[in-house]
Structure 1
Amino acid sequence: MSGAADRPILCSTRAAPPKGAAGFLEVGEKVAPAFLFPVIGVWSTPLAGRWSEVEAELEARVSALGFELVQASWAGSRARPVLRLRIDRADGEPVTVNDCAAVSRGLEPWLDAHEALPERYVLEVSSPGIERPLTRPRDWTRFAGRPVVVKAARPLAGDRTRVEGEIVGLDEDAPRPTARVRLGEGEEVRVPLEDVLDAHLVMEWD
């Protein structure tokens, strides 16, 4: 069984903390030690069709802070909207709680002034975790040789839309971004990235 070090680090800023609480811990099955602190959001309009714009700006701002935005998603409910960011370090070192807090604090001024986001919100910044999602073409080069699980919109091997294998890298000769994955039986499949519904690394057991 994996230990706490294998689980994502979560740093969450909350719009409405419990009365009298300056900060508190949340520990779940997939959450390692978490650091939470309150923040008030002042957004006035919903995201509507502007998510791509917001996501691109988030990526640029996280990069300017010295980190990589692995994944951004909008979750929660109307009463408790959640903006979830998963970040990674460019130097390959594990993401720490302090890293998550630095990104959260660095984004707050821009988020607080953004008119496209909800009035009240929860901002969660976390590490990508041991089963890191692969969300950019460069990920397939960076993690070559690592085990991966891929779910696709179309069959990849026979009639299978889900395959598990080893990342070979990107197919440099393909007309569109395409990953190469070697299956356990030695067969190599090509995965058009536009067809990928989900792809993430798999923990390697000793």
Structure 2
Amino acid sequence: MADIAALTQMIAPEVKALGFDLVRVKLFGSGDDRTLQIMAENPVTRQLVIEDCAAISRRLSDLLDETDPIEDAYRLEVSSPGIDRPLTRPHDYDDWKGHETRITVEEAVEGRKTLKGILKGIEGDIVHLVDAKVGRVEIPLVNITSAKLVLTDALISATMPLSSEGADEIETEG
């Protein structure tokens, strides 16, 4: 399995050079069905349009072909994090405070491995959440295995509409 931290270190400056912020690097699947997923966003709009994805994909394809950091075949996928995005960076927990969030932890917090409630932000390395079942909890960032915004009407109204520019140009297999 490829070293995600090393891949992230290699990919982040390339994404930044194109004017985007790297949100997540994830390698999943097995055998001939592996995918290297790169999530990025425009720091102004917090989304990517199709042309942005294509530009990042071209730049990373060349780099990955040249350095060959992943054994065996894989598919490169470049995408926007979407509305119900994963929270992967410390500042995400402040940027999205006030929204409903689902957090999964390594070690149980208040007897629970999955917490769902209103995100209250981050102080230092402690994430604050008001869980619907157990109330206010403090979660060390290092204990979080995954965190994702929950798609709600409030989240939809708080985010800019996603651009559909270029969507009619997408070819699908029929």
> Which TM bucket (shorter chain)?
0.7 to 0.9
Report what 1:133 is aligned to: 86
Return the letter of the residue paired with 1:141.
D
- Alpha-carbon distance between aligned partners in 1 of 2:30 and 2:103, rounded to the nearest angstrom: 28
- What is the percent sequence identity of the aligned residues? 29
Task: State the superposition RMSD in angstroms.
Answer: 2.1
Q: Aligned-pair distance for 1:77? A: 2.6
- Deviation string 1:148-178 (CA, Å, 9 cap, x unpaired) is 1111112223x12211111111124xxxx11
Q: Name 1:112's counterpart in structure 2.
A: 65
Unaligned segments of structure 2, at least 5 residues: 155-174
Shift in alpha-carbon separation, 1:146–1:92, aligned structure 2, 3 A: farther
Structure with greater Cα Rg: 1
Q: Give, in whole Å, the separation in 2 of the partners of 1:163 and 1:150.
A: 5
**Which runs of 5 or more residues in structure 1 are unaligned?**
1-45
TM-score by length of 2: 0.78
- Between Structure 1 and Structure 2, the one with more helix by share is 2
Match of 2:9 in 1: 56
Give CA deviations for 1:75-109 in whole Å, capped at 9, x if unaligned.
Answer: 23322432111122201343211111111012122
The number of aligned residues is: 154
1:178 has 2:130 as partner: no
Q: Distance in 1 between matches of 2:138 and 2:122?
A: 9
SS of equivalent residue, structure 2 residue 108: coil
Which residues in structure 2 correspond to 1:72-83 (within 5 Å)?
72-83=25-36
Query: Which residue of structure 2 lines up, in the alignment, with residue 165 of structure 1?
Result: 117
Amino acid at match of 2:30: S
